[in-house]
Amino acid sequence: TADTLAQIHAKEDKTKAFITVTDDEAKKQAAAADAAGISADQPLAGVPLALKDNIITDGVLTTAASKILTGFIPVYDATVTKRLKAAGSVLVGKTNLDEFAMGSSTENSYYGPTHNAWDLDRVPGGSSGGSAAAVAAGEVVAALGSDTGGSIRQPAAFNGIFGIKPTYGRVSRWGLIAFGSSLDQIGVLSRRVKDSALILQQIAGQDENDDTSLPDPVPDYVAAMAGGVQGMRLALPEEYLGEGVSQGVRDAIEKAVDTLKKLGATVDTVSLPHTKYAVPTYYLIASSEASSNLQRFDGIRYGYRAQDVKNLEDVYVRTRSEGFGDEVKRRIMLGTFSLSAGFYDAYFNKAAKVRHLIQDDFTKVFADHDLIIAPTTPTPAFKIGEKVDDPVTMYMNDILTIPANLAGIPAASVPAGLVDGLPVGLQLMAKPLGESTIFKAAAAFE
Protein backbone atom coordinates (compact mmCIF):
# COMPACT_ATOMS: atom_id res chain seq x y z
CA THR A 1 0.00 0.00 0.00
CA ALA A 2 2.84 2.39 0.81
CA ASP A 3 4.42 1.66 -2.60
CA THR A 4 1.10 2.06 -4.39
CA LEU A 5 0.42 5.40 -2.72
CA ALA A 6 3.96 6.54 -3.61
CA GLN A 7 3.40 5.55 -7.26
CA ILE A 8 0.07 7.37 -7.31
CA HIS A 9 1.61 10.56 -5.92
CA ALA A 10 4.56 10.35 -8.31
CA LYS A 11 2.39 9.95 -11.42
CA GLU A 12 -0.94 11.66 -10.77
CA ASP A 13 0.45 14.99 -11.89
CA LYS A 14 0.52 13.63 -15.42
CA THR A 15 -2.20 10.98 -15.65
CA LYS A 16 -4.89 12.59 -13.43
CA ALA A 17 -6.48 9.17 -13.08
CA PHE A 18 -7.93 9.68 -9.58
CA ILE A 19 -10.68 11.91 -8.25
CA THR A 20 -9.94 10.91 -4.65
CA VAL A 21 -6.90 9.23 -3.07
CA THR A 22 -7.67 7.79 0.35
CA ASP A 23 -4.15 7.88 1.85
CA ASP A 24 -4.96 7.82 5.55
CA GLU A 25 -7.75 5.29 5.40
CA ALA A 26 -5.66 3.06 3.09
CA LYS A 27 -2.72 3.10 5.51
CA LYS A 28 -5.05 2.11 8.35
CA GLN A 29 -6.55 -0.74 6.34
CA ALA A 30 -3.07 -1.92 5.33
CA ALA A 31 -1.89 -1.90 8.95
CA ALA A 32 -4.96 -3.92 9.92
CA ALA A 33 -4.23 -6.40 7.12
CA ASP A 34 -0.62 -6.71 8.32
CA ALA A 35 -1.80 -7.38 11.84
CA ALA A 36 -4.33 -10.00 10.71
CA GLY A 37 -1.88 -11.81 8.44
CA ILE A 38 -2.75 -13.93 5.43
CA SER A 39 -5.59 -16.40 5.73
CA ALA A 40 -7.47 -18.60 3.29
CA ASP A 41 -10.71 -16.64 3.61
CA GLN A 42 -8.94 -13.36 2.78
CA PRO A 43 -7.35 -14.07 -0.62
CA LEU A 44 -6.80 -10.35 -1.29
CA ALA A 45 -5.33 -9.57 2.15
CA GLY A 46 -3.49 -6.25 1.95
CA VAL A 47 -3.89 -5.90 -1.83
CA PRO A 48 -4.34 -2.21 -2.73
CA LEU A 49 -7.08 -1.59 -5.32
CA ALA A 50 -8.89 1.41 -6.82
CA LEU A 51 -12.59 1.74 -7.67
CA LYS A 52 -14.22 3.74 -10.43
CA ASP A 53 -15.96 6.70 -8.82
CA ASN A 54 -19.46 5.50 -9.73
CA ILE A 55 -19.11 2.66 -7.23
CA ILE A 56 -20.46 3.51 -3.79
CA THR A 57 -17.97 3.59 -0.90
CA ASP A 58 -19.02 4.06 2.72
CA GLY A 59 -17.51 7.26 4.11
CA VAL A 60 -15.57 8.06 0.91
CA LEU A 61 -16.63 10.80 -1.52
CA THR A 62 -18.43 9.26 -4.52
CA THR A 63 -19.08 11.65 -7.41
CA ALA A 64 -19.67 9.73 -10.68
CA ALA A 65 -17.52 12.66 -11.98
CA SER A 66 -20.60 14.89 -11.81
CA LYS A 67 -20.97 18.32 -10.25
CA ILE A 68 -24.41 17.18 -9.08
CA LEU A 69 -22.80 14.78 -6.60
CA THR A 70 -20.50 17.43 -5.10
CA GLY A 71 -19.81 16.46 -1.50
CA PHE A 72 -21.81 13.18 -1.62
CA ILE A 73 -20.41 10.83 1.02
CA PRO A 74 -22.34 7.54 1.02
CA VAL A 75 -23.28 5.79 4.25
CA TYR A 76 -23.01 2.25 2.85
CA ASP A 77 -20.82 0.15 0.57
CA ALA A 78 -21.72 -1.24 -2.86
CA THR A 79 -21.80 -5.05 -2.84
CA VAL A 80 -18.50 -5.18 -4.75
CA THR A 81 -16.90 -2.76 -2.28
CA LYS A 82 -18.14 -4.91 0.60
CA ARG A 83 -16.87 -8.12 -1.01
CA LEU A 84 -13.42 -6.66 -1.75
CA LYS A 85 -13.13 -5.47 1.85
CA ALA A 86 -14.23 -8.88 3.12
CA ALA A 87 -11.48 -10.44 0.97
CA GLY A 88 -8.95 -8.20 2.74
CA SER A 89 -8.29 -5.68 -0.02
CA VAL A 90 -7.25 -2.08 0.71
CA LEU A 91 -9.08 0.78 -1.05
CA VAL A 92 -6.54 3.38 -2.23
CA GLY A 93 -8.87 5.68 -4.11
CA LYS A 94 -11.63 6.47 -6.57
CA THR A 95 -10.86 6.85 -10.25
CA ASN A 96 -12.00 9.37 -12.84
CA LEU A 97 -14.68 8.65 -15.45
CA ASP A 98 -16.98 10.31 -17.93
CA GLU A 99 -19.85 11.88 -15.97
CA PHE A 100 -22.25 9.07 -14.98
CA ALA A 101 -20.18 6.76 -17.26
CA MET A 102 -21.49 8.53 -20.37
CA GLY A 103 -18.64 8.78 -22.82
CA SER A 104 -15.69 7.09 -24.48
CA SER A 105 -12.80 9.35 -23.54
CA THR A 106 -13.04 10.48 -19.87
CA GLU A 107 -13.27 14.02 -21.24
CA ASN A 108 -16.85 14.40 -19.93
CA SER A 109 -15.69 14.62 -16.31
CA TYR A 110 -16.47 17.57 -14.04
CA TYR A 111 -12.96 17.00 -12.65
CA GLY A 112 -11.19 17.38 -16.00
CA PRO A 113 -9.77 14.75 -18.36
CA THR A 114 -7.51 11.81 -17.53
CA HIS A 115 -4.51 11.22 -19.80
CA ASN A 116 -3.51 8.06 -21.65
CA ALA A 117 -0.64 6.30 -19.90
CA TRP A 118 1.24 5.79 -23.21
CA ASP A 119 0.83 9.27 -24.65
CA LEU A 120 -0.34 12.08 -22.41
CA ASP A 121 -1.83 13.99 -25.37
CA ARG A 122 -4.26 11.15 -26.00
CA VAL A 123 -7.45 10.06 -24.26
CA PRO A 124 -7.37 6.99 -21.99
CA GLY A 125 -10.71 5.90 -23.43
CA GLY A 126 -13.82 5.83 -21.35
CA SER A 127 -15.76 5.80 -19.40
CA SER A 128 -13.45 3.83 -17.05
CA GLY A 129 -10.46 5.88 -18.29
CA GLY A 130 -9.24 6.66 -14.78
CA SER A 131 -9.11 2.99 -13.78
CA ALA A 132 -7.34 2.04 -17.04
CA ALA A 133 -4.75 4.84 -16.93
CA ALA A 134 -4.03 4.22 -13.23
CA VAL A 135 -3.33 0.54 -13.94
CA ALA A 136 -1.33 1.16 -17.13
CA ALA A 137 0.78 3.91 -15.52
CA GLY A 138 1.70 1.52 -12.70
CA GLU A 139 -0.15 3.51 -10.05
CA VAL A 140 -2.18 0.49 -8.94
CA VAL A 141 -2.10 -3.18 -9.88
CA ALA A 142 -5.82 -3.46 -10.69
CA ALA A 143 -9.03 -1.46 -10.49
CA LEU A 144 -12.74 -1.97 -10.90
CA GLY A 145 -14.65 -0.31 -13.71
CA SER A 146 -18.16 -0.50 -15.13
CA ASP A 147 -19.16 -1.31 -18.70
CA THR A 148 -22.48 -0.29 -20.25
CA GLY A 149 -21.34 -0.17 -23.87
CA GLY A 150 -17.61 -0.78 -23.72
CA SER A 151 -16.40 1.30 -20.80
CA ILE A 152 -14.05 -1.37 -19.45
CA ARG A 153 -12.85 -2.93 -22.72
CA GLN A 154 -12.23 0.23 -24.75
CA PRO A 155 -10.05 1.94 -22.08
CA ALA A 156 -8.25 -1.37 -21.46
CA ALA A 157 -7.47 -1.53 -25.20
CA PHE A 158 -6.36 2.11 -25.34
CA ASN A 159 -3.98 1.59 -22.40
CA GLY A 160 -2.56 -1.83 -23.30
CA ILE A 161 -4.01 -3.73 -20.34
CA PHE A 162 -6.54 -6.51 -19.70
CA GLY A 163 -10.16 -5.64 -18.94
CA ILE A 164 -13.21 -7.87 -18.54
CA LYS A 165 -16.93 -7.14 -18.58
CA PRO A 166 -18.63 -10.21 -17.12
CA THR A 167 -21.99 -11.68 -18.15
CA TYR A 168 -24.92 -9.39 -17.28
CA GLY A 169 -25.91 -10.50 -13.77
CA ARG A 170 -22.60 -12.18 -12.88
CA VAL A 171 -21.62 -9.29 -10.59
CA SER A 172 -24.10 -7.44 -8.38
CA ARG A 173 -24.91 -3.91 -9.51
CA TRP A 174 -26.10 -2.90 -6.06
CA GLY A 175 -24.27 0.33 -5.21
CA LEU A 176 -23.19 1.01 -8.79
CA ILE A 177 -24.64 4.41 -9.69
CA ALA A 178 -27.05 3.33 -12.41
CA PHE A 179 -26.68 4.44 -16.03
CA GLY A 180 -28.42 1.85 -18.25
CA SER A 181 -29.67 -0.79 -15.81
CA SER A 182 -30.22 -3.52 -18.42
CA LEU A 183 -26.67 -3.04 -19.74
CA ASP A 184 -24.49 -1.99 -16.77
CA GLN A 185 -22.01 -4.50 -15.44
CA ILE A 186 -19.05 -4.10 -13.05
CA GLY A 187 -15.75 -5.71 -14.05
CA VAL A 188 -12.00 -5.60 -13.56
CA LEU A 189 -9.01 -3.94 -15.26
CA SER A 190 -5.47 -5.20 -14.55
CA ARG A 191 -2.06 -5.62 -16.12
CA ARG A 192 -2.03 -9.38 -15.55
CA VAL A 193 -4.93 -11.60 -16.64
CA LYS A 194 -4.57 -13.64 -13.48
CA ASP A 195 -5.18 -10.62 -11.26
CA SER A 196 -8.52 -10.00 -12.96
CA ALA A 197 -9.39 -13.69 -12.53
CA LEU A 198 -8.60 -13.51 -8.80
CA ILE A 199 -10.57 -10.31 -8.28
CA LEU A 200 -13.60 -11.34 -10.35
CA GLN A 201 -13.69 -14.51 -8.27
CA GLN A 202 -14.24 -12.35 -5.18
CA ILE A 203 -16.86 -9.94 -6.53
CA ALA A 204 -18.97 -12.34 -8.62
CA GLY A 205 -21.99 -14.27 -7.38
CA GLN A 206 -25.59 -13.81 -6.38
CA ASP A 207 -26.60 -10.92 -4.15
CA GLU A 208 -29.95 -10.59 -2.41
CA ASN A 209 -29.86 -6.83 -3.08
CA ASP A 210 -29.77 -7.26 -6.88
CA ASP A 211 -32.55 -9.38 -8.35
CA THR A 212 -30.75 -9.53 -11.69
CA SER A 213 -27.68 -11.18 -10.11
CA LEU A 214 -27.34 -14.81 -11.20
CA PRO A 215 -27.53 -17.74 -8.77
CA ASP A 216 -25.01 -19.88 -10.71
CA PRO A 217 -21.95 -20.91 -8.68
CA VAL A 218 -18.77 -18.93 -9.43
CA PRO A 219 -16.15 -21.16 -11.08
CA ASP A 220 -12.44 -21.04 -10.23
CA TYR A 221 -11.29 -18.54 -12.87
CA VAL A 222 -7.59 -18.91 -12.09
CA ALA A 223 -7.79 -22.67 -12.54
CA ALA A 224 -9.65 -22.04 -15.82
CA MET A 225 -6.59 -20.23 -17.20
CA ALA A 226 -4.71 -23.49 -17.51
CA GLY A 227 -5.24 -25.79 -20.47
CA GLY A 228 -4.51 -23.52 -23.42
CA VAL A 229 -6.46 -22.88 -26.59
CA GLN A 230 -5.68 -26.23 -28.26
CA GLY A 231 -8.88 -27.36 -30.01
CA MET A 232 -10.79 -24.16 -29.26
CA ARG A 233 -13.25 -23.12 -32.00
CA LEU A 234 -12.96 -19.38 -32.60
CA ALA A 235 -15.21 -17.19 -34.77
CA LEU A 236 -14.09 -13.98 -36.47
CA PRO A 237 -17.12 -11.87 -37.47
CA GLU A 238 -16.63 -10.11 -40.80
CA GLU A 239 -18.69 -7.10 -39.64
CA TYR A 240 -16.04 -6.34 -37.01
CA LEU A 241 -13.33 -5.80 -39.60
CA GLY A 242 -15.43 -3.52 -41.79
CA GLU A 243 -15.21 0.11 -42.76
CA GLY A 244 -13.69 2.40 -40.14
CA VAL A 245 -11.35 -0.23 -38.69
CA SER A 246 -7.83 1.07 -39.29
CA GLN A 247 -5.19 -0.92 -41.17
CA GLY A 248 -2.96 -0.96 -38.10
CA VAL A 249 -5.73 -2.54 -36.01
CA ARG A 250 -6.46 -5.11 -38.75
CA ASP A 251 -2.78 -6.09 -38.91
CA ALA A 252 -2.58 -6.50 -35.14
CA ILE A 253 -5.71 -8.67 -35.09
CA GLU A 254 -4.40 -10.79 -37.95
CA LYS A 255 -1.22 -11.41 -35.97
CA ALA A 256 -3.21 -12.39 -32.89
CA VAL A 257 -5.29 -14.78 -35.01
CA ASP A 258 -2.07 -16.38 -36.31
CA THR A 259 -0.81 -16.83 -32.76
CA LEU A 260 -4.06 -18.51 -31.72
CA LYS A 261 -3.95 -20.82 -34.75
CA LYS A 262 -0.34 -21.78 -34.02
CA LEU A 263 -1.43 -22.70 -30.51
CA GLY A 264 -3.98 -25.13 -31.92
CA ALA A 265 -7.23 -23.14 -32.16
CA THR A 266 -9.38 -23.13 -35.30
CA VAL A 267 -10.65 -19.81 -36.64
CA ASP A 268 -13.76 -19.47 -38.88
CA THR A 269 -15.04 -16.29 -40.47
CA VAL A 270 -18.69 -15.78 -39.46
CA SER A 271 -21.39 -13.14 -39.82
CA LEU A 272 -23.29 -11.20 -37.14
CA PRO A 273 -25.60 -9.48 -39.62
CA HIS A 274 -27.40 -7.08 -37.24
CA THR A 275 -24.16 -5.48 -35.99
CA LYS A 276 -24.86 -2.35 -38.04
CA TYR A 277 -27.92 -1.59 -35.89
CA ALA A 278 -26.09 -1.90 -32.58
CA VAL A 279 -25.04 1.73 -32.09
CA PRO A 280 -28.47 3.35 -32.68
CA THR A 281 -30.17 0.57 -30.69
CA TYR A 282 -27.80 1.07 -27.79
CA TYR A 283 -28.10 4.85 -27.71
CA LEU A 284 -31.90 4.61 -27.55
CA ILE A 285 -31.96 1.96 -24.82
CA ALA A 286 -29.09 3.36 -22.74
CA SER A 287 -30.39 6.95 -22.93
CA SER A 288 -33.95 5.88 -22.10
CA GLU A 289 -32.81 3.98 -19.03
CA ALA A 290 -30.49 6.85 -18.07
CA SER A 291 -33.30 9.42 -18.29
CA SER A 292 -35.25 7.32 -15.82
CA ASN A 293 -32.32 6.53 -13.50
CA LEU A 294 -31.16 10.14 -13.31
CA GLN A 295 -34.54 11.43 -12.08
CA ARG A 296 -33.34 10.87 -8.52
CA PHE A 297 -30.80 13.72 -8.77
CA ASP A 298 -33.25 16.41 -7.75
CA GLY A 299 -31.21 18.65 -5.45
CA ILE A 300 -33.01 17.27 -2.39
CA ARG A 301 -31.53 13.85 -1.84
CA TYR A 302 -27.86 14.04 -2.77
CA GLY A 303 -24.97 16.39 -3.32
CA TYR A 304 -25.29 19.72 -5.07
CA ARG A 305 -28.28 22.10 -4.68
CA ALA A 306 -28.72 25.38 -6.57
CA GLN A 307 -28.62 28.50 -4.38
CA ASP A 308 -31.18 31.34 -4.08
CA VAL A 309 -34.08 29.35 -5.46
CA LYS A 310 -37.65 30.66 -5.60
CA ASN A 311 -39.66 27.46 -5.08
CA LEU A 312 -39.50 23.67 -5.34
CA GLU A 313 -39.67 23.56 -9.13
CA ASP A 314 -36.86 26.08 -9.25
CA VAL A 315 -34.78 23.73 -7.03
CA TYR A 316 -35.22 20.92 -9.53
CA VAL A 317 -34.70 22.94 -12.68
CA ARG A 318 -31.75 24.99 -11.52
CA THR A 319 -30.02 22.13 -9.69
CA ARG A 320 -30.23 19.88 -12.74
CA SER A 321 -29.36 22.69 -15.19
CA GLU A 322 -26.29 23.63 -13.18
CA GLY A 323 -25.35 20.16 -11.93
CA PHE A 324 -25.39 18.03 -15.09
CA GLY A 325 -22.87 18.39 -17.92
CA ASP A 326 -23.76 18.68 -21.62
CA GLU A 327 -23.45 15.00 -22.53
CA VAL A 328 -25.66 13.93 -19.61
CA LYS A 329 -28.29 16.49 -20.63
CA ARG A 330 -28.13 15.25 -24.23
CA ARG A 331 -28.85 11.69 -23.06
CA ILE A 332 -31.67 12.74 -20.71
CA MET A 333 -33.36 14.62 -23.56
CA LEU A 334 -32.88 11.78 -26.04
CA GLY A 335 -34.14 9.21 -23.53
CA THR A 336 -37.12 11.26 -22.39
CA PHE A 337 -38.10 11.78 -26.02
CA SER A 338 -37.85 8.10 -26.93
CA LEU A 339 -39.94 7.06 -23.91
CA SER A 340 -42.63 9.69 -24.38
CA ALA A 341 -46.20 8.92 -25.46
CA GLY A 342 -46.47 8.83 -29.22
CA PHE A 343 -42.80 8.03 -29.76
CA TYR A 344 -42.37 4.98 -27.52
CA ASP A 345 -43.32 2.42 -30.19
CA ALA A 346 -41.29 4.05 -32.93
CA TYR A 347 -38.13 4.38 -30.84
CA PHE A 348 -37.75 2.55 -27.53
CA ASN A 349 -39.91 -0.42 -28.47
CA LYS A 350 -38.29 -0.77 -31.89
CA ALA A 351 -34.85 -0.70 -30.27
CA ALA A 352 -35.90 -3.38 -27.77
CA LYS A 353 -36.91 -5.62 -30.70
CA VAL A 354 -33.69 -5.04 -32.63
CA ARG A 355 -31.81 -5.90 -29.45
CA HIS A 356 -33.29 -9.42 -29.70
CA LEU A 357 -32.07 -9.79 -33.28
CA ILE A 358 -28.57 -8.86 -32.14
CA GLN A 359 -28.80 -11.41 -29.31
CA ASP A 360 -29.95 -14.09 -31.78
CA ASP A 361 -26.95 -13.39 -34.03
CA PHE A 362 -24.67 -14.29 -31.12
CA THR A 363 -26.67 -17.37 -30.09
CA LYS A 364 -26.33 -18.79 -33.60
CA VAL A 365 -22.55 -18.33 -33.70
CA PHE A 366 -22.09 -19.77 -30.20
CA ALA A 367 -23.97 -22.92 -31.24
CA ASP A 368 -20.74 -24.17 -32.80
CA HIS A 369 -18.01 -21.83 -31.53
CA ASP A 370 -16.39 -21.34 -28.13
CA LEU A 371 -15.37 -17.71 -28.53
CA ILE A 372 -15.83 -14.76 -30.85
CA ILE A 373 -12.66 -12.76 -31.48
CA ALA A 374 -12.53 -9.24 -32.90
CA PRO A 375 -10.80 -5.91 -32.45
CA THR A 376 -11.93 -4.05 -29.31
CA THR A 377 -11.86 -0.65 -31.03
CA PRO A 378 -11.68 0.55 -34.65
CA THR A 379 -8.54 2.63 -33.95
CA PRO A 380 -5.96 3.12 -31.18
CA ALA A 381 -6.42 6.01 -28.70
CA PHE A 382 -7.31 9.35 -30.30
CA LYS A 383 -6.07 12.81 -29.28
CA ILE A 384 -7.63 14.71 -26.38
CA GLY A 385 -10.10 17.19 -27.88
CA GLU A 386 -10.25 15.41 -31.25
CA LYS A 387 -13.86 14.21 -30.97
CA VAL A 388 -15.40 16.29 -28.17
CA ASP A 389 -17.47 18.44 -30.49
CA ASP A 390 -18.82 15.57 -32.53
CA PRO A 391 -20.96 13.22 -30.41
CA VAL A 392 -21.89 10.93 -33.30
CA THR A 393 -18.24 10.23 -34.23
CA MET A 394 -17.61 9.61 -30.54
CA TYR A 395 -20.57 7.18 -30.41
CA MET A 396 -19.30 5.28 -33.47
CA ASN A 397 -16.12 4.51 -31.56
CA ASP A 398 -18.18 2.02 -29.50
CA ILE A 399 -19.42 0.02 -32.46
CA LEU A 400 -17.38 -3.08 -31.62
CA THR A 401 -18.04 -3.19 -27.87
CA ILE A 402 -21.75 -2.32 -27.67
CA PRO A 403 -23.18 -5.57 -29.13
CA ALA A 404 -21.89 -7.64 -26.16
CA ASN A 405 -23.78 -5.38 -23.72
CA LEU A 406 -26.98 -5.58 -25.75
CA ALA A 407 -26.67 -9.38 -25.71
CA GLY A 408 -25.56 -9.56 -22.04
CA ILE A 409 -22.58 -11.78 -22.89
CA PRO A 410 -19.16 -11.63 -21.24
CA ALA A 411 -16.39 -9.89 -23.18
CA ALA A 412 -12.81 -8.88 -22.51
CA SER A 413 -9.97 -6.98 -24.14
CA VAL A 414 -6.41 -8.38 -24.12
CA PRO A 415 -3.35 -6.45 -25.30
CA ALA A 416 -2.55 -7.41 -28.92
CA GLY A 417 0.58 -5.42 -29.64
CA LEU A 418 1.33 -1.83 -30.66
CA VAL A 419 0.59 0.24 -33.74
CA ASP A 420 2.79 3.33 -34.08
CA GLY A 421 3.63 3.01 -30.41
CA LEU A 422 0.00 2.81 -29.29
CA PRO A 423 -1.68 -0.31 -27.85
CA VAL A 424 -4.35 -2.30 -29.69
CA GLY A 425 -6.84 -4.61 -27.98
CA LEU A 426 -8.13 -8.01 -29.07
CA GLN A 427 -11.70 -8.60 -27.92
CA LEU A 428 -12.80 -12.02 -26.70
CA MET A 429 -16.55 -12.66 -26.39
CA ALA A 430 -18.13 -15.80 -24.95
CA LYS A 431 -21.61 -17.19 -24.40
CA PRO A 432 -23.42 -16.24 -21.17
CA LEU A 433 -21.36 -17.34 -18.12
CA GLY A 434 -18.43 -18.22 -20.39
CA GLU A 435 -15.89 -16.14 -18.42
CA SER A 436 -13.72 -19.23 -17.88
CA THR A 437 -13.30 -19.68 -21.65
CA ILE A 438 -12.26 -16.02 -21.94
CA PHE A 439 -9.67 -16.41 -19.18
CA LYS A 440 -8.32 -19.57 -20.80
CA ALA A 441 -7.82 -17.85 -24.17
CA ALA A 442 -6.52 -14.63 -22.61
CA ALA A 443 -3.83 -16.65 -20.82
CA ALA A 444 -2.30 -17.33 -24.26
CA PHE A 445 -1.37 -13.64 -24.50
CA GLU A 446 0.50 -13.35 -21.19
Residues taking part in catalysis: 52, 127, 151
109 lies in the site for ligand GLN, by CB under 6 A: no
Eight-state DSSP code of residue 122: B
| Smallest separation (angstroms) from ligand GLN to the CB of 111 | 17
Give the nearer residue to ligand GLN in terms of CB position, either 170 or 369.
170
CA–CA distance from 64 to each of 101, 209, 239 (Å)? Answer: 7, 21, 34
441 lies in the site for ligand GLN, by CB under 6 A: no
- Please name the residues in contact with 365: beta carbons below 8 A apart, sequence gap of 6 or more: 235, 237, 270, 272, 372
Give the nearer residue to ligand GLN in terms of CB position, either 222 or 429.
429
User: Distance between CA 94 and CA 56 in Å, rounded?
Assistant: 10
User: Distance between CA 176 and CA 174 in Å, rounded?
Assistant: 6
Give the nearer residue to ligand GLN in terms of CB position, either 107 or 147.
147
Give the nearer residue to ligand GLN in terms of CB position, either 111 or 179.
179
Burial of 94 (0-12, 13-18, 19+ CB in 10 A): buried
One residue of 20, 151, 201, 275 binding ligand GLN per CB under 6 A: 151
CA dihedral 295, 300, 302, 307 (to 10 degrees): 110
| Smallest separation (angstroms) from ligand GLN to the CB of 54 | 9
Give the nearer residue to ligand GLN in terms of CB position, either 115 or 165.
165
Give the nearer residue to ligand GLN in terms of CB position, either 203 or 411.
411
One residue of 147, 289, 361, 435 binding ligand GLN per CB under 6 A: 147
Give the nearer residue to ligand GLN in terms of CB position, either 131 or 148.
148
User: Distance between CA 97 and CA 100 in Å, rounded?
Assistant: 8
51 has which bridge partners? Answer: 94, 144
**What is the total count of residues that contact ligand GLN (CB under 6 A)?**
13
E strand or H helix that includes residue 316: helix 312-323
One residue of 102, 232, 294, 384 binding ligand GLN per CB under 6 A: 102
Applying the rule CB under 6 A, the residues between 274 and 333 that interact with ligand GLN are 286
| Smallest separation (angstroms) from ligand GLN to the CB of 149 | 3
| Smallest separation (angstroms) from ligand GLN to the CB of 286 | 5
User: Distance between CA 171 and CA 17 in Å, rounded?
Assistant: 24
101 lies in the site for ligand GLN, by CB under 6 A: yes
Which residue stretch of 149-157, 214-222, 303-311, 373-381 sits at the interface with ligand GLN (rule: CB under 6 A)?
A: 149-157
Eight-state DSSP code of residue 408: T
One residue of 89, 127, 288, 377 binding ligand GLN per CB under 6 A: 127
Applying the rule CB under 6 A, the residues between 384 and 423 that interact with ligand GLN are 398
Which residue stretch of 148-156, 218-226, 245-253, 431-439 sits at the interface with ligand GLN (rule: CB under 6 A)?
A: 148-156
104 lies in the site for ligand GLN, by CB under 6 A: yes
Residue 71 in contact with residue 304, Cβ under 8 Å?
Answer: yes
Q: Where are the beta strands (DSSP E) in 8-141?
A: 18-21, 48-52, 90-95
Give the nearer residue to ligand GLN in terms of CB position, either 198 or 381.
381
Residue 142 in contact with residue 190, Cβ under 8 Å?
Answer: yes
Phi, psi of 62 (to 5 degrees): -130, 115
One residue of 103, 166, 299, 410 binding ligand GLN per CB under 6 A: 103
- Please name the residues in contact with 3: beta carbons below 8 A apart, sequence gap of 6 or more: none
| Smallest separation (angstroms) from ligand GLN to the CB of 391 | 9
Region class of 408: left (phi > 0), else alpha (psi between -120 and 50), else beta: left
Which string of x and - marks every residue 156-195 that binds ligand GLN (by CB under 6 A)? Answer: -----------------------x----------------
149 lies in the site for ligand GLN, by CB under 6 A: yes
In degrees, to the nearest 5, what angle opens at C-alpha 93 toward C-alphas 299 and 54?
A: 40
- H helices present in 98-178, as ranges: 129-136, 153-158
Which residue stretch of 76-84, 97-105, 136-144, 265-273 sits at the interface with ligand GLN (rule: CB under 6 A)?
A: 97-105
- Please report, as ranges, the residues that interact with ligand GLN according to CB under 6 A: 101-104, 127, 147-151, 179, 286, 398
